[in-house]
Amino acid sequence: MTTITATLQQFKQHLADLARLSQAAALLNWDLETGMPRKGAAARAEALGLLSGEIFTRFVSPQTAEALAALTAPGVTLDATDAALVRVTRRDYDKSQAIPPALVREIATVAGQAQPAWEQARHDNTFAPFVPYLTRLLALKCEVADIVGHRGNRYDALLDDYEPGLTAAALIPLIADLRRELVPLVDAIIDRQQSQPAPAVPAVPVEAQRALALALLDLLHFDSDAGRLDASAHPFSITIAPGDHRVTTRFDVADFRSSFFSVLHECGHALYELGIPAALQLTPLADGASMAIHESQSRFWENVVGRSRPFLAFVLPLLQRHCPALAAWSADDLFRSANSVRRSLIRTEADEVTYNLHVMLRFELENELLGGRLAVTDLPAAWNDRCRALLGCTPASDREGVLQDVHWAHGSFGYFPSYMLGNLYAAQLTDALRRDLPDFDTLLARGDTQAPLAWLRDRVHRHGRMLEPHELMLRATGSAPDSRHFLAYLRSKFLGDARS
Ligand code: ZN
């Protein structure tokens, strides 16, 4: 065996061990969100802290550095998968080891205090007590951005954690284009829908909703031998290990749509990870290309498929079988109920038309905070101004405004654009998919999701993290990401305009 072959083998073994430690952390996290007794929280936090510290220390160890140095030495040639593995691991390593451990610990400590402070501030409906925590977290994240490095905009350094290679400068014109078209489009759609209000939603018992959720997972070809469904306060999807993919939902007796669409959404995330080939498992390549690409998969199944007229018409009898209270609903009732558009204050409750406006608001504020152009104390007023300009409504309180999201209390700045890009990418991927599957609507009308899933497996899932997100979109769709596919999708669906 040549030295390089042996080095590569040891390197993969080292990464596989790290992946197995991460499996333990993932399982502890899943349990924490789904079934752990409340009084176990303190002990669980300590166990997770120890485990994530151990994973971090092993990853930034000389063992990783020496292998990366040997595998990137002049004259070493690797096949495409191994070259991608080395490139992706090198980038993760360079970022991780640049940040001093003391800074990592301080961020974890302050975020640990900021989360309950945010919960309390939200409960009391007052921003002021949260200001010192947010100010400190922002300063620490600015420090991280400056250490990691950027070309003048700290936002780029943090955005890169979620969207490798993307910059605020590239996002700004994309957002401006989208905003210019979207604001009048919202008016036109709300206007159109006023004459066709959606029916009132009847109560549906939890057990009926659970049976429906399992039937939906089955319909989407979610492998029940490689995954499971549970309930949690906030729906999520997590891969524990190859062959073990878990999704959660939240059952609301008063509104079955909450769980119905959460299940489709989280299943989309799980299908992505289920589609990553065995050859990439237990390496850093066994993940999505970026948060936005991941989100494009969940939005595809939740919105493009799940809220489409043909799919909803197919699913109606299934829905009525599990939920007899919906017996009088027509396919049109279900479509209108799944697609009513309104100006709302809360991002997580927003429909697919107004959703991106909520993201733009957050992006603009984050970018200004990180650039030092906006003070934390001025945030509530700035939030309310943007909300009025973008969504045409003003929060009556901080709870409905600046305090609604947990992200900043975690120190997660730069995350929101991935949600918006996920919507744009889903529409762009769908246009490419329709070129290959012109009978897409007919398939959905028969509840046949096999061919669209196979298309996504081939164009997106099988690459794992091997391709950069921009490159993946270019190869999968034939063009660079833009907003026109998404806008054409909305016009076609909500105004009945012919597709371009
Ligand atoms: Zn998601």
Least trusted range by pLDDT, from 237-241, 343-347, 433-437? 343-347
More confident residue, 38 or 131: 131
Q: Where are the alpha helices (DSSP H) in 194-277?
A: 206-219, 256-274
How many angstroms does the Cα of residue 334 sit away from the middle of ligand 1? Answer: 23
CA nearest 49: which of 35, 65, 32?
Answer: 32
Structure confidence by residue, pLDDT tens digits, 297-337: 999 999 999 999 999 999 999 999 999 999 999 999 999 99
Our measurement of the distance from residue 267's CA atom to the centroid of its chain's CA atoms, rounded to an integer in Å, reads: 12
How many angstroms does the Cα of residue 394 sit away from the middle of ligand 1? Answer: 26
Question: What are the residues facing 249 on neighbouring strands?
Answer: 231
DSSP state of 399: G
pTM of this structure? 0.95
pLDDT level of residue 233 (50, 70, 90 thresholds): confident
| CATH code, 168-494 | 1.10.1370.30
How many angstroms does the Cα of residue 6 sit away from the middle of ligand 1? Answer: 39
**What are the structural domain ranges in the chain?**
3-149, 168-494
Q: Which of 33, 119, 207, 266 is catalytic?
A: 266
How far apart CA 299 and CA 422 sit, in angstroms, is 7
Token pair listed for 82: 């191994």
266 is catalytic: yes
Structure confidence by residue, pLDDT tens digits, 7-20: 999 999 999 999 99
What does pLDDT average to over the chain?
95
CA nearest 338: which of 371, 369, 312?
Answer: 312
Reduce the DSSP state of residue 410 to 3 states and report it: helix
Structure confidence by residue, pLDDT tens digits, 82-104: 999 999 999 999 999 999 988 98
CA nearest 263: which of 245, 275, 251, 276?
Answer: 251
